[in-house]
Structure 1
Amino acid sequence: MATWQSLYRFIYYKVQNREEAEDITQETYLKALSYMQKKNNKIEKHISFLKTVALNIIRDKGRKTKRRGTSINIDGINPGEIALEDPTESIIEKETIQEALMLLGKEQRMVINLRIIKGYSVSDTAKRMDKSENNIRVIQYRAIENLTKILKWGE
């Protein structure tokens, strides 16, 4: 399906867990198809509709988790693995990427935000930025190239 990749990226960005993102993506398609069959109508903006369904599923799961609380199997925890997970490394990486993005030009930063972070297609990004699809591809290529140079330079 043409929408799968961008929907999966969108969901993964929200939940930050591969298995959960896969489950939510699958559940999103099931709910969307069920809705479309019940209402017997065609959704014009598929990806927007799917993202809305996905957000609702994520919110519902969050509410259920808050009500139930989180259960942890203490016997299954390996202290050595947990000790190696340092959240400051993740925070530093995110800050480094944010700083690198700020060094890009406005257009390149916008394309990276729309295409990679938010998961929009090339055609959606082109429409939003009022540019051709080829122009978006070139801007994205150059932005990634620049980010690579900036991040390697900072090492």
Structure 2
Amino acid sequence: LFYARLTVEALIEVLRGQRTVRETFAGPVRIADLSGKAAERGLSELLVVMSLISLSLGLFNLFPIPVLDGGLILMLFVEWAMGLVGRELTMSLREKIQTVGLALILLLMGYVLYSDIAITLSERARPENPPPAHTKP
């Protein structure tokens, strides 16, 4: 429950602009890197990382973005509310909403992948033991 709360809080902070997407989300490149580092520390550490990834993906899937499960739940609620007033959501509008949701997810995936690569390259470019700074006598 603790990790679920942390995950939800991090996502809310991103939506409020208190955290950046770059520092909060990890794509396949960083996930592979984190998983490799966790595996080096042992099976229990790897299982913790894998469970956190699974939990994070599950919670993200519940966000009310069309094409995600949370978006489908939202659409069901909208259709139910429209049915109360005798209206119906047209198939054309449903398709447009799903297309916008898919575009948002693809843009997010592209940005996260780009960030992963940039972060990984910058980490590898840094020397592990930088030379000591020169001081004036």
TM-score scaled by structure 1? 0.27
The structure with the larger Rg is: 2
